[in-house]
Amino acid sequence: MMQTNDKIYVAGHRGMVGSAIYRKLVKEGFTNIVVKTSGELNLTNQLEVANFFETEKPEYVFMAAAKVGGISANNTFRGQFLYENLMIQNNVIHQSYLNGVKKLLFLGSSCIYPKLAPQPLKEESLLTGLLEPTNEPYAIAKISGIKMCEAYRDQYGCNYVSVMPTNLYGPNDNYHPENSHVLPALIRKFHEAKVNHLNSVEIWGTGTPLREFLYVDDLAEAIFLVMQKYNEKGFLNLGSGVDLSIKDLAIQIKEIVGFEGDLNFNADKPDGTPRKLMDISKISALGWKAQTTLKQGIDLAYKDFLRHL
């Protein structure tokens, strides 16, 4: 179990997940947190990562650094997403082993599951079918990370655990018009439509796919609990346990942003997986439950978006 003076490395501390983990550690009184920007430490560079671990010798590692994006980015930068994510996680996991890290937590993604896996998604469904083609390279990298943690546990006795979050949103999200995920992308679209007095907003797809969302500070609470109390081989799903249609999501965001025009669904654009809901019974059994409602979370996310304009 981590003590407040233990040396902790948060990889990816400026991203949405890493910054939430950092906030949680500070809130809990941790004082010896090591962070590096991508400019200071290129995690795809084996030598730089080796030197960092040899110099700093962290005792605990939160592996929240990754190359991420929405459907469009995942599909467009297929080679880059596979290469960069594999390099980042291989370097960090292997150097953690070489330098005696006590425990590492690897963050995956719900896109690791087969496109047609039974819903809600159970951990046991991993590798039981074909992946969603649009984000297959990213999913392959994340599956490799899970399996690497398990293999290092098997061969070297490393206490490396993995968690698979559902769709995340919150402070420090990416609101890029093309390369962001659906919720932050819609926040930007509705805000810009409101400011520019547009009559309507186009939304990709039919609006029918069902998606689950988790506020990132709720995720950080779960991750902290897992790091302190969970030491098993199997990975854990992290989600809110509730889903809704993209159309209903759009209506909620539209109301919170205050846009008064119409919604136009562009059925020529990809929908992605028809439904993606996580089975969260394993993390629930550890005593964790998401605390932030979607309405509260979207309101907080919109305020964060406005601060970054």
Q: Are 93 and 63 in contact (CB under 8 A)?
A: yes
**Token code pair at residue 260:** 């008064």
Catalytic residue among 22, 97, 138, 302: 138
Q: Are 116 and 129 in contact (CB under 8 A)?
A: yes
Q: Are 104 and 90 in contact (CB under 8 A)?
A: no
Q: Count of alpha carbons within 13 Å of 24, Cβ hemisphere only?
A: 22
* Rounded Cα distance, 155 and 74, in Å: 32
* Rounded Cα distance, 6 and 227, in Å: 13
Identity at 101, one-letter amino acid code: V
Q: What is the length of the chain?
A: 309
Whose tokens are 């596979």? That residue is: 82
> What's CA 79's distance to the chain center, in Å?
20
State in Å, rounded, how far the first CA of the chain is from the last one.
Answer: 40
Catalytic residue at 138? yes
Identity at 50, one-letter amino acid code: A
Quick one: 125 exposed, middle or buried, by C-beta within 10 A (0-12, 13-18, 19+)?
middle
Count of beta carbons in the 10 Å neighbourhood of residue 267: 11
Catalytic residues: 138
